Amino acid sequence: MTDTADILDSTYAWARLAVSLLIAVICSAGIWVMVLIMPAVQDEFGISRGDVSLPYTLTMIGFALGNLAIGRMVDGLGATRAITGAGILLGAGFVMAAMAGSVWILSLTQFIIGFGAAAGFGPLIADVSQWFLRRRGIAVAITASGNYLAGAIWPLILSGVLETYGWRGVYWVLAVVTVSGMIPLALILRSKVPLAARVRSDEISETRRRASGIRPGALTVLLGLAGVGCCVAMSMPQVHIVSFCVDLGYTAGIGGQMLSLMLICGVISRLISGLLADWLGGVTTVLIGSALQCLALFLYLPAGSLVSLYLVSAIFGLAQGGIVPSYAVVVREYMPSQEAGRRVGLVLMMTILGMALGGWMSGWIYDMTGNYRLAFMNGIAWNFLNIAIMMLILMRTRTRAMAPA
């Protein structure tokens, strides 16, 4: 491989993207396992809906911190070492979770699992983003789709394991699959972006940043706050859809199917958003997705029949799937490549903390009210915060661009 900018958007870059997507699908199983087994864990330990949401919340906190920490490792050590270490950590976490004797121990092990699973999200997105320029939006979207593909695929695969061997058996299966899959694939990602390619990409980012008049630090803070807002809203259906369906008299399997449908549609949304980001830019793409997500949340309020729930879940997935990866596109549009892992990791960490906060808040509101109606309204309120921030960024950018020299 020569030290040339021609490597950007090349055949090698697309092959590397395919490997990254497979790693993301395997790695992200740990994020969705609690959504699948939540009712079974609640029954075994005899705890409330709010308490059984705690392992998921700790998962997302670990996932958030892992995005930042492993993202920095990718900047300094490269993708192969970072992902290999994460695979070992994940395997150990799954084994410990399978032997957990209380919801508190399970919560702590889910924190470890979430931390390791982060390698398949922000760090991989940051790495992939450095290999693309013209098609960066769609490349980032494909990588981020691994997270949703995992949510769509693993619940269907593991449902039989859950019914036959219980929720502990699910963890044993994931321990074997994760270690045997992630480590060999990580070895394929040993190459680093040539210097000439980094320079070319950074020149374009710096030109765009100066034209906008927005400092990198200020943009990072605004994107982080927006990420919290959109993901508190996003977490209500994603985290509680199975429990929501059980409350309405349907089986956990029906809820799992709705989650899978939601996430499959989320994959479609991410791919469409990637194309939009290459055409309209990351900020506009985030704003479009946020507005559509807010509309979908309103549609959940009157839904109750199977047909309406399946339909709204599909609409929700199509609306919100591309929001989070578009934040990474915004970061790479305005900031240099040597900070990619740290900046992308920080912004995505904030989105994940929003998921953790929203997952817990929804369970707490349910315990206080006995239903999820106010939890949906809470999500809508946070969604409006996200829309306001993205409108501020968009209008400031356009105002600066249109101002006379």
Which residue, among 334, 330, 322, 321, has the nearest Cα to 283 in the 3D structure? 330
Contact 132, 200 (CB under 8 A): no
Distance, CA of 262 to CA of 260 (rounded, Å):
5
Average pLDDT rounded to a whole number, residues 261-269: 86
**Angstrom distance (rounded) from CA 281 to CA 330:** 7
Q: What is the pLDDT of residue 200?
A: 62
How far apart (Å, rounded) are the C-alpha atoms in residues 356 and 359?
Answer: 5
Alpha helices in 248-372 (DSSP H): 252-280, 282-300, 306-320, 323-334, 340-369
Return the top range by mean pLDDT from 49-58, 172-181, 358-367. Answer: 172-181
200, two tokens = 């070319």
CATH architecture of 5-400: Up-down Bundle (1.20)
Q: Does 151 or 273 have the greater pLDDT score?
A: 273
pLDDT score at 340: 64
Tell me what the mean pLDDT of segment 353-379 comes to. Answer: 87
Residue 86's pLDDT band (cuts 50, 70, 90): very high
Given a cut of 90, whether residue 191 has pLDDT beyond it is no
371 conformational bin, left if phi > 0, alpha if psi -120 to 50, beta if neither: beta
pLDDT higher at 209 or 33: 33
- Give first-to-last CA distance, the chain, whole Å: 43
pTM of structure? 0.77
Query: What confidence score (pLDDT) does residue 314 get?
Result: 92
Torsion angle defined by CA atoms of residues 382, 386, 388 and 389, in that order, rounded to the nearest 10 degrees: 140
φ, ψ of residue 215 to 5 degrees: the values are: -70, 150
The structure tokens 């900046």 sit at: 343
Q: What is the pLDDT of residues 31-78, one digit of tens each?
A: 888 878 888 888 888 877 667 778 877 888 898 899 888 988 887 788
Mean model confidence pLDDT for the chain? 84
How far apart are the C-alpha atoms of 111 and 116, rounded to whole Å? Answer: 9
